[in-house]
Structure formats: C-alpha cells, structure tokens
Amino acid sequence: MNITTYQPAYLAEAAGLFVQSFRRLRAAVPTLPNRFEQPEEVSRFLERLFSQCPGVFAFDHGRLAGYLGWYEADDFRGANRRAAFVPVWAQAASPEGGRRVDQALYTAAARQWLASGCEVHCLTLLADQAERLQIWFWQGFGLAVVDAVRPVQPLNRAVPSGITIRRASLADAPHLAEIEAEHAVHYAQPPVLMAPIPANTPEEFETLLSQPSNTVWLALDGEHTAGYLRLEMESFGAAAIVAAPDTIAITGVYVRPAYRGRGIAASLLDAALRHYSALGFARCSVDFESFNPDAANFWPRYFQPVCFSLMRVPELGPGR
C-alpha cells in the first residue's frame, strides 16, 4: 500500500469513494437530503479542504483505497486544546481494503497532527459503517457526538397534566436566558464534564427569535418555566450531510430536574414537529453528546443516528 498526499488528479476518485458510502446510508435512511449523492458537490467540499490541508491518500495496486483530510482548531469544543478534526465527507475507505487502510491513513495523519501540535484527534464516520467504527475504536478512539435525523412528522403525544406548551415570543427572552443558564451548568456536571458553555443573553435570544424560521417552545407550569426546546435553520458543528433548506435543527433542550420523567421533552418536540410540518419542512436534525445520559436516553427514541464522531486524546502529545 502506498501513502501519499493530495494531488488534484485524486479529487474525482476521492469524491466517488465517499458518494458510494453515502448512497448506502441514504438507502437505509431516505430522510437524509440527497446533496451528498452528487459527486460534484462532494468534490467542491474536498477541493476547498485540500487547498489548505495536504491530506493522506492510500493507494492499493494503483487504485485509491481511502483518503483522510482535516481541519485544525486551536480551541476545540471550548477546551483550549488544539485539535485535528475530520468531517464526515473528508474521509472514506474502500470496504475491500479492510482495517489496514484506516490503520495506514491514521498512522500517516497522526504524524502530521503531532508535528502541528494537535492534542486531540477527532473524526466523523457514517453511522452504518460498523466495521470501520470497530477499527477506529481499536485505534484508541471513543464515541463523543451523534448526529441524527427524523422526518418532520408529529409524535401525537398528549401534553402532561398541568403543563402548557406554547411558542416563545420576544417577551420571553429573559426567561429563556435564565433557564438556558441552568442548562449550561448541567453540561459541566458529572458525568458529562464538558468545557463550560456560555449561555445566550436575552438580547441574543431576541435576535434568534427574530429570524422567521427559528423557534423556541416553552413548557409552562402556570407561570413557571418547566423546560424549553430551541430550533434553528443551522446548527453549528452539526454534520454537513443533514443540512438542507428543508431541514430544521434542534439546538437546545432542557427540562428542569423537578419536571423530568413526565414526558415534557417529548411534548415540546411534538409541538415543534407539528409547527414545522405545517411549514413544509422535510426533516429535523439533532446532534448530541453520547456521554450525556439524558440526551443518549432520549434522542434515539425518536431520531435515527446517521453520523458518529469519535475522539482520541493521545497520552503522548505535543511537548511530551
């Protein structure tokens, strides 16, 4: 097997390798948008990436067996660590190559990541690639983030007794900022232990709600806010394969501890789905941390995973 860096002549073959994998996933999850079934679309993404990243390409008997490209970030996930991140479309491997393709790609990429000071290694795989997931687990990676989708079809859930569900207005911005501050604290608690997340201010919620397609849904116990669900046209950090003009993304949900176990989160989701169904949206997406028990127990009941993001923090990193 020969490992080399990017050349423009590799572009079409690399795009075709990813398209083959994506078409298999979309055949099982037709809710996904079809843009990544188009080799020209994937080529545009790859051309931009490889204009700033050398990448690594594995050739076996003269044929492309796999490729890997990445971005580097200095403050990955707000944890003040430099990271190499491989988006889902920035990698692919031929099934015929087996584990040796991914092993060779990672070995070559890790040398470059070490040299450039990356303390965290992260890549995203299509969720139906069970064999490749195992290969990367054996290379020291663990599951971190799940991207999932569902059709915009209502759940037809009854609202819990004593709870009212309604769409938030601009006047609700101060209350939304208050409950989101609690939500942000939740992420830093065991077992999630994420880097602190800044909560939106009332002014930021006003801006969010001023965008026509964005909504926030409130669960109220009288005048007291029991929980909220936020949806936007774009979700920062979500996998590109879920994005489309007719996709609405969930970007936040939180139910206060005293109200959990009553089906409030599902009722919030149901209200939002009914709203976006009436507007003609095709799908709803969500991305969540697999190590957040509340999220991991809730979202897979209603959404189908389409991407798994894996992460490794090598023991021997820059400066060691």
pLDDT at 320: 62
Q: What percent of the chain has pLDDT over 90?
A: 94
pLDDT at 318: 73
CB neighbour list of residue 196: distance below 8 Å, 6 or more residues apart: 78, 184, 187, 188
Kindly list the strands in the beta sheet with 120-126, ordered across the sheet, starting from the edge strand earlier in the chain.
71-73, 83-86, 120-126, 304-312, 142-151, 283-289, 247-255, 224-232, 215-221, 164-167
Instruction: Give the model confidence (pLDDT) of 22-79 as tens digits.
Output: 999 999 999 999 999 999 999 999 999 999 999 999 999 999 999 999 999 999 999 9
226 backbone dihedrals φ, ψ, rounded to 5°? -90, -30
Domains parsed from the chain with CATH numbers: 2-140 (3.40.630.30), 151-304 (3.40.630.30)
Instruction: Give the model confidence (pLDDT) of 268-306 as tens digits.
Output: 999 999 999 999 999 999 999 999 999 999 999 999 999
Classify residue 54 as exposed, middle or buried by CB count within 10 Å of its CB (0-12, 13-18, 19+). middle
Write the DSSP symbol of residue 55.
-
Q: In this model, does residue 185 exceed pLDDT 90?
A: yes
